[in-house]
């Protein structure tokens, strides 16, 4: 019996269970806060078993469609809350048609997409635009089930020599559709995997097999950002060079779904010289997909100049990358714990190059020293200066970072050597250690401040509960034993400023609120509040209410009730009168 804890199903429609592996590209056109909706949708898609390639926000139509073609996705799921949805979605449909692929488009935009516009978009060929009414009728899970049901179709036929021929023809030209479909066939038809690999290898130009750079490291170390920076430099420095990226992310064991989110960090790949494919591990506890070998061989057969493979970064199985790569890069940060933890990192034995990324974080200089020391121990390499070791300090998030420049030059020189030609890589100017925009000691400064301020504020609130005290002054004081509040202080605080008093007074609703919430104590009223009370003619019900609270018989009755409660309190010998009088 499984030892996994039972997870109670959510109420409402049960998640649809797809028969095929469903892959969807999700994105939002702009970033204005409403992109939160696409995050809701993609999480539900993932928990319903979809592999979601999430692009985040600010994505053009072309970027989204190119991605869907490269990823061989069955569908695109987008939100558009900012207007322009007719043009955006129709253009998306046009580009999908032009690609010749069957990719269904699903969209939503709450109330911003009007019912007649939805009809127009459906007539144009958009698979479905969901309205808030659809949500009310079907429930969010129902909406997702509908998307999944319609995308639940197989991608490509089972590979036969005749079916493969046109795809193999597309390899020399690096046709993204052919590459994508070949990788899908390998993933979805594992029984034909070996035949497919043999056909691909036979079609490869054997004289020009590119080197493979394997990138691995802990989750959150910034692997994708670093890969993006390396690709940017590669493309800038070599105007004709091409690159393929295969990126692996973990599948969820419970749902089978996956967030393939590496593209969110990739900004340099929107270039016809780049092909990128995301793979889900489709099994747990592994850093690589079972089909990564196929994907690499397909990209090598397409004669890219460089193939980069990025692992999912889930621990010790990271060393798998060594079996697939000619050169391996291990990306880590200073957050590994004590120096002795470094002895447990297998990749420090195997990695050709190590990057300590996020070097602007605290403790990074110590980490650099410790990692270099561990590297020497692991390799029995005790001679030579530290600077000659392949351990680099990088800040991938920083523009033109000196550490990334040096890392790039070292990797490119080695990759060129593997490809058998002279290197053209140059180290650009850069500081030895980065000068971050936010110095390490100020990182998380506000978080620390707020965590210190939080308890103090809470203590202050406890010691000065003026809202409660103000509404009923001492009578509602929660504990009789506690000291009575300072009515004048609390009432003064809650009284509106003079500038807001007059407009409030002329607005009954406001005055009523005012009267209820900011009723001054008699003392305060008689001191500075008097003018306000006088200025307010007792005509509206609100003002009457305000006035009644301090003077009317019903107020006196309330006071009497308070007085009797207070007199029942032994801790307040003198409290009875002060309670009653308040
Ligand atoms: C939350 C919200 C915000 C938040 C978003 C941040 C957050 N953390 O959530 C904030 C505060 C940023 C915001 C700001 C604004 N908002 Co606003 N916002 C909303 C609100 C309340 C909910 C939107 C939402 O996320 N819903 C959750 C999604 C899942 O549900 P839904 O939107 O109903 O979508 C349904 C379908 O369309 C479908 N769906 C949606 N997306 C997708 C995607 C896929 C793939 C699929 C399959 C289905 C699908 O699922 C839902 C099924 O019921 C709506 C009002 C409302 N109740 O709808 C207004 C609303 C969208 N906002 C509105 C406006 C005007 C604004 C502002 C311009 C206000 C202003 N003047 O500043 C700003 C714009 C922001 C900017 N910076 O410019 C208007 C838009 C009016 C219009 N017709 O254009 C709305 C409709 C409110 C209103 N009635 O006035 N907003």
pLDDT 10s digits, 313-371? 765 557 788 888 999 999 999 888 888 888 888 888 889 999 999 988 888 888 999 99
pLDDT digits (tens, 9 = 90+) for 35-83: 899 999 999 999 999 999 999 988 899 999 999 999 999 999 999 998 8
Q: Which atom of ligand 1 is nearest to the CA of 109?
A: 37
Q: Which atom of ligand 1 is nearest to the CA of 77?
A: 45
* Minimal-distance CA residue to ligand 1 atom 26: 37
Cα–Cα distance measured from residue 173 to residue 262, given in angstroms and rounded to the nearest whole number: 25
Cα–Cα distance measured from residue 242 to residue 305, given in angstroms and rounded to the nearest whole number: 5
Beta-ladder partners of 393: 356
Q: Which long-range contacts (CB under 8 A, 24 or more apart) does 438-441 make?
A: 438/360, 439/360, 440/360, 440/361, 440/362, 440/363, 440/364, 441/362
DSSP code at position 383 = -
**CA–CA distances in Å: residue 549 to residues 153, 288, 475, 492:** 70, 72, 14, 17
The per-residue DSSP string of 157-179 comes to PPP-HHHHHHHHHTTTTT-HHHH
Cα–Cα distance measured from residue 55 to residue 265, given in angstroms and rounded to the nearest whole number: 9
pTM score, whole prediction: 0.76
At 228, the pLDDT band (50, 70, 90 cuts) reads very high
The finding on whether 109 has its CB within 6 A of some atom of ligand 1 is: yes
**What is the torsional sign of CA 355, 358, 364, 367?**
negative
pLDDT of residue 446: 75
The reply to whether CATH 3.30.465.10 applies to domain 208-419 is: no
DSSP code at position 156 = S
Beta-carbon count within 10 A of 151 CB: 24
Indicate the average pLDDT of the chain. Answer: 79
Question: Is-contact 207 320, C-beta < 8 A?
Answer: no
461: Cα separation from own chain's centroid: 35
Domain boundaries, the chain: 23-151, 208-419, 472-532+554-568
Question: Is-contact 491 470, C-beta < 8 A?
Answer: yes
At 552, the pLDDT band (50, 70, 90 cuts) reads very low
Mean pLDDT of 221-229: 93
3 state SS of 24: strand
Of 312, 306, 351, 345, the residue nearest 328 (C-alpha): 351
The finding on whether 75 has its CB within 6 A of some atom of ligand 1 is: no
DSSP code at position 396 = T
What's the length of the chain? 582
Higher pLDDT, 411 or 5: 411
Question: Is-contact 225 397, C-beta < 8 A?
Answer: yes
* Minimal-distance CA residue to ligand 1 atom 76: 32
Question: Is-contact 129 113, C-beta < 8 A?
Answer: yes
78: Cα separation from own chain's centroid: 16
- How far is ligand 1, taken at its centre, from the CA of residue 220, in Å? 30
Residue whose CB lies within 8 A of the most ligand 1 atoms, among 34, 39, 56, 117, for a mutation test: 34
The finding on whether 60 has its CB within 6 A of some atom of ligand 1 is: no
CATH of 23-151, one of 3.40.50.1370, 3.40.50.280, 3.40.718.10, 2.40.10.220: 3.40.50.280
N-to-C CA span, the chain: 67
Q: Which atom of ligand 1 is nearest to the CA of 143?
A: 47
Beta-carbon count within 10 A of 429 CB: 7
Q: In what order do the strands lie in the sheet with 391-393?
A: 274-280, 243-249, 306-310, 212-217, 327-332, 353-356, 391-393
The finding on whether 104 has its CB within 6 A of some atom of ligand 1 is: no
């Amino acid at each position: 019996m499984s030892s996994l804890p039972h997870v109670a199903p959510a109420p409402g429609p049960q998640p649809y269970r797809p028969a095929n592996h469903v892959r969807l590209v999700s994105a939002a056109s702009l970033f204005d806060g409403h992109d939160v909706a696409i995050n809701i949708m993609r999480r539900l898609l993932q928990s319903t078993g979809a592999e979601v390639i999430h692009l985040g926000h600010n994505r053009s139509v072309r970027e989204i469609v190119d991605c869907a073609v490269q990823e061989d996705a069955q569908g695109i799921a987008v939100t558009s809350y900012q207007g322009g949805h007719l043009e955006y979605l129709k253009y998306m449909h046009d580009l999908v048609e032009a690609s010749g692929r069957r990719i269904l488009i699903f969209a939503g935009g709450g109330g911003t997409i009007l019912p007649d516009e939805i009809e127009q978009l459906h007539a144009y060929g958009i698979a479905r635009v969901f309205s808030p009414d659809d949500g009310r009728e079907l429930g969010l899970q129902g909406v997702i089930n509908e998307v999944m049901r319609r995308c639940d179709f197989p991608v490509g036929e089972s590979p036969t020599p005749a079916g493969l021929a046109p795809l193999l023809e597309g390899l020399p030209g690096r046709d993204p559709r052919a590459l994508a479909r070949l990788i899908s066939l390998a993933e979805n038809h594992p029984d034909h995997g070996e035949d497919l690999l043999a056909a691909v290898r036979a079609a490869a130009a054997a004289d020009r097999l590119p080197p493979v750079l394997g990138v691995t490291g802990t989750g959150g170390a910034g692997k994708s950002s670093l890969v993006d920076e390396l690709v940017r430099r590669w493309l800038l420095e070599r105007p004709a060079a091409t690159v393929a990226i295969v990126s692996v992310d973990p599948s969820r064991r419970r749902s089978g779904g996956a967030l393939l989110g590496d593209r969110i960090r990739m900004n340099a790949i929107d270039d016809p010289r780049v092909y990128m494919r995301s793979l889900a591990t489709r099994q747990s506890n592994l850093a690589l997909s079972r089909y990564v070998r196929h994907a690499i061989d397909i990209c090598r057969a397409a004669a890219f100049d460089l193939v980069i493979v990025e692992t999912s970064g889930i621990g010790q199985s990271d060393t798998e990358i060594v079996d697939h790569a000619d050169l391996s890069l291990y990306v880590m940060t200073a957050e590994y714990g004590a120096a002795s933890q470094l002895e447990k990192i297998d990749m420090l034995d195997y990695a050709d190059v190590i990057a300590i990324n996020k070097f602007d974080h605290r403790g990074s200089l110590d980490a650099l020293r410790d990692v270099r020391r561990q590297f020497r121990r692991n390799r029995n390499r005790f001679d030579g200066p530290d600077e000659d070791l392949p351990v680099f300090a990088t800040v991938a998030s920083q523009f033109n970072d000196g550490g990334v420049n040096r890392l790039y030059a070292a990797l490119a020189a080695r990759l060129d050597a593997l490809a058998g030609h002279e290197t053209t890589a140059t180290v650009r100017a850069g500081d030895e250690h980065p000068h971050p925009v936010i110095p390490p000691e100020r990182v998380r400064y506000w978080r620390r401040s707020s965590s210190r301020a939080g308890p103090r504020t809470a203590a202050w609130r406890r010691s000065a509960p003026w809202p409660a005290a103000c509404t009923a002054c001492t009578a509602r004081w929660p504990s009789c034993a506690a000291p009575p509040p300072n009515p004048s202080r609390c009432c003064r605080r809650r009284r509106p400023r003079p500038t807001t008093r007059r407009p409030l007074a002329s607005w009954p609703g406001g005055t009523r609120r005012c009267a209820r919430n900011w009723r001054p104590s008699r003392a305060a009223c008689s001191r500075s509040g008097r003018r306000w009370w006088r200025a307010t003619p007792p005509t509206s019900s609100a003002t009457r209410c305000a006035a009644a609270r301090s003077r009317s018989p019903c107020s006196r009755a309330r006071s009497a009730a308070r007085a009797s409660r207070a007199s029942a309190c032994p801790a307040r010998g003198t409290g009875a009168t002060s309670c009653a009088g308040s």
